[in-house]
Amino acid sequence: MKKAIHTTKAPAAIGPYSQAILVNGFLYTAGQVALIPETGGLDMQSVKTETKRVMENLKAILTEAEMDFTHVVKTSIFLSSMDLFVEVNSIYGSYFPEGSILPARETVAVAGLPKGVNVEISVVAFKG
């Protein structure tokens, strides 16, 4: 059985999708961008602040599903340019506890992202 996960501590879905779906112990999140949940505005002061907002949105969804970043098994990162890789990677990596098993991941540059953002990240987590 699948269950939709929703929290007001992450941006509401702006289309026909859920923030995340939990099925058989796996959590699949929608891609998160730097939307501020309380205002709906974007947090794009820098690539680092943008990435931090994305990770905080993911953290809120994981928390609602009674998980954390140690449960993440797969990550997809979409960037507006591979020139942003080092900055994004430094913030992204700080969310995984030292010594934890790191998730599999792909990072790709794309032609465009929603609302003109530079970073979008989605995760798959497992708690069994």
Confidence of residue 14 (pLDDT cuts 50, 70, 90): confident
pLDDT at 101 over 90: yes
Per-residue confidence (pLDDT) for residue 54, from 0 to 100:
98
In the numeric block, the tokens 């501590």 are attached to 9
pLDDT at 92 over 90: yes
Q: How many domains does the chain have?
A: 1
The CA angle 51-31-37, to the nearest 5 degrees, is 65
Residue 82 maps to which CATH number?
Answer: 3.30.1330.40
pLDDT over 90 (residue 117)? yes
**For residue 98, what are the domain limits?**
2-126
Packing angle of the helix pair 47-64, 85-93 (nearest 10 deg): 40
